[in-house]
Amino acid sequence: MTQLFAGYAFDPDLFDPETFLRDYWQKKPLLIRNPWKQWRNPIEPDELAGLSCESFVESRLIEQSADQYQLEHGPLPTERFNSLGQAPCTLLVQAVDHHIADVAQLLDPFRFIPNWRIDDIMVSYASAGGGVGAHYDQYDVFLIQGLGQRRWQLGAMCNDDTPLLEHEDLRLLAEFEPLQDWVLDPGDILYVPPRLAHKGVALGDDCMTYSVGFRAPSRSELIEGWAGEALDQLRQDDRYEDADLTRQDNPGEIPAHALAQLQQMAVESLSDPAAFARWFGQYATAPKNPNIEWGPETPFNGEEMERLLASTADLTGGQMMMRNPASRFAYVAGSADAITVMIDGKAYDLDGYAADFGRQLCAKARVYASADMLAQQQVKSLLLDCLNHGSIAIEGALEEPIERAGEFDAGLEVGDQA
């Protein structure tokens, strides 16, 4: 397994999350000059190119000719990169944090924003002059310069009425007037709030940018998803009834009392706060790509997990757990001290010691589970499921073979394909 790099953290003298949230978050852009305690580019260009050749990875290749942009969707054939000409080009690979552990660790410094808001890390590689044109996003994004330099120009705020160019695949602005202009060096970060026009151009070859994006569900997405979930729970015999029906003057009228009853039937099925919280927690933590497998080739059973825990426990019977850096963890509070923890789209109901463990698991990358916690059946069930899905690893077992250590392998040996 590739040794994980543990140096991604902000220097508190160079970046203050509280000040940022108060003055900039969803308000105005901010250029942050290399705020890291230590910066290292987490993935090399050839490894990114190799990822774009995989069928389970979402990728795009954009080639430019004058002001024209041609988009090609992946997976890309390995020989495609040898056929690129001298024209500027950009490779975009989505959700790289799902595949490369060092990239996933870039998320840790941004966890002053709630876990459920974090979407993924898109990585772009561009040759000299490469970019995707002037555009705007519907979500917040931190643009981290990894290699080389990129010039960023920021414009005005946009909305659904902002004119766009006619293009089958890209939403590019028809007009763009830069109001701010910056050149980013490795380690620099540019925060861009939602709907702000921006344009990035690579200055020289081997330009890599990491886009840390955040989920911002639209009203239509919420209604569609939650209504679909509610529909799955409804019974076919739950229907409109009017046993007190009386004759009305005009049979063509839909009377107010009937409309009120019908509307109530529709609304009340969507107005259960606890059910909505459970659904949304699963929705918000679902992996970007549901086809990715992190778990061991041979699943654990309960007895195997118990032996593993016993062999790696400390002198007090406790155990250190390590989260998969690409997994998503969140929870919602229930009654009394009960909570529902959502991990990679699955829900787990916990209370007592188990709830304490669940809260810690959602807050920290490494969590210590005491012997009392490990004795709880709820914790055992959660751990067994998470080990088999690769969401959690047991720290003392990381040197064991992957299929018997519950070790997730967030890195892929694909760099030699490009």
Q: Measure the CA–CA gap between 140 and 29, rounded to whole angstroms.
A: 10
Structure tokens given for 208: 């890599």
Structure tokens given for 95: 């959700």
> What integer is the mean pLDDT of 368-382?
89
> What integer is the mean pLDDT of 345-366?
92
Q: Confirm or reject CATH 3.40.50.880 for domain 17-214, answering yes or no.
A: no
Model pLDDT, residue 7: 65
Percentage of the chain with pLDDT > 70?
93
Residue 4, Cβ density class (10 Å: 0-12 exposed, 13-18 middle, ≥19 buried): middle
**Mean pLDDT value across the chain:** 88
Measured in whole angstroms, the distance separating CA 239 from the mean position of its chain's CA atoms is 39
Would the pLDDT of 407 be above 60?
no
Provide the pLDDT confidence category of residue 319 given band limits of 50, 70 and 90: confident
What does the domain layout of the chain look like in residue ranges? Answer: 17-214, 302-416
Q: What is the pLDDT of residues 112-164, one digit of tens each?
A: 999 999 999 999 999 999 999 999 999 999 999 999 999 999 999 999 999 99
Structure tokens given for 361: 């698991």
> What integer is the mean pLDDT of 268-295?
88
Please spell the DSSP secondary structure of 160-182, one letter per residue.
Answer: TTS-B---SS---BS----SEEE
Please spell the DSSP secondary structure of 278-300, one letter per residue.
Answer: HHHHHHHHS-SSTT---S-SS--
Model pLDDT, residue 9: 93
pTM: 0.85
